[in-house]
Amino acid sequence: MNKEEKHDLVLALSEQMKEYGNFYITDTSDLTVAKINDIRRKCFDSDIKMQVAKNSLIKKAMEAADGDYTEIYDVLKGSSSILFSKSATAPAKLIKQLRKQGDKPVLKAAYIDSAIFIGDNQIDALIKLKSKEQLIGEVIGLLQSPAKNVVSALQSGGNTIAGLVKTLQERG
């Protein structure tokens, strides 16, 4: 790989880090070509983009991307693959599924919307993560619940001042 190709790869990785916002760095060393191809196929089926790159190029891509990735630099040893996904949990679920068939891939680190997870022991925590949309939905649901109770109480009280006073006295 010449200097220009390396530069293009670093630029592409950096852009993907910005675009996806979520990426996992895994160890896929010692896997056969057939196993790697199987992982790539499953990644494609799960809407995950897999990229194998040298650690030095991954580090340069992180430095070029806007973000604080310094905690991840220490895990960039050995063979590394990067899994990019719009979903924060999809790569973790795929890794867990693949681990039923063997001991690889091993999670080195994950970057999920500015949060960094280091180590293979984080897989279960990553699987349980909720998306922003799910969290917003839960907050809205919690905020709506008291308002629904008041509206329901008002409707059952006959929409009169006396009904409102009675409802408030019963609640208090």
- What's the confidence (pLDDT) of residue 160? 62
* Same-domain status, 136 and 110: no
* Same-domain status, 117 and 80: yes
Number of domains in the chain: 2
Whether residue 9 has pLDDT greater than 60: yes
Which residues constitute the domain of residue 156?
A: 132-171
- What's the confidence (pLDDT) of residue 159? 54
Per residue in 108-163, pLDDT (tens digit) is 999 988 889 999 898 888 888 877 777 788 788 777 777 676 667 666 655 566 66
Kindly state the average pLDDT of the residues 37-48.
92
The answer to whether the bond into 91 is cis (omega within 30° of 0) is: no
Give the Cα separation of 41 and 39 in Å (integer).
5
Give the Cα separation of 166 and 71 in Å (integer).
59
* Same-domain status, 58 and 25: yes
* CATH, residue 69: 3.30.70.1730
Give the Cα separation of 8 and 106 in Å (integer).
27
* Same-domain status, 81 and 150: no
Tell me the HSE value of 24 on the side-chain side, using a 13 A CA sphere: 29
Structure tokens at 136: 């917003």
What residue type is assigned to position 156 of the chain?
S
* Same-domain status, 144 and 83: no
Per residue in 58-96, pLDDT (tens digit) is 999 999 887 788 899 999 988 889 999 998 899 999 999
DSSP class per residue in the chain: --HHHHHHHHHHHHHHHHHHSEEEEEE-TT--HHHHHHHHHHHHHTT-EEEEE-HHHHHHHHHHSSS--GGGGGG--SSEEEEE-SSSSHHHHHHHHHTTTSS--EEEEEEETTEEEESGGGHHHHHTPPPHHHHHHHHHHHHHHHHHHHHHHHHHTTTSHHHHHHHHHHH-
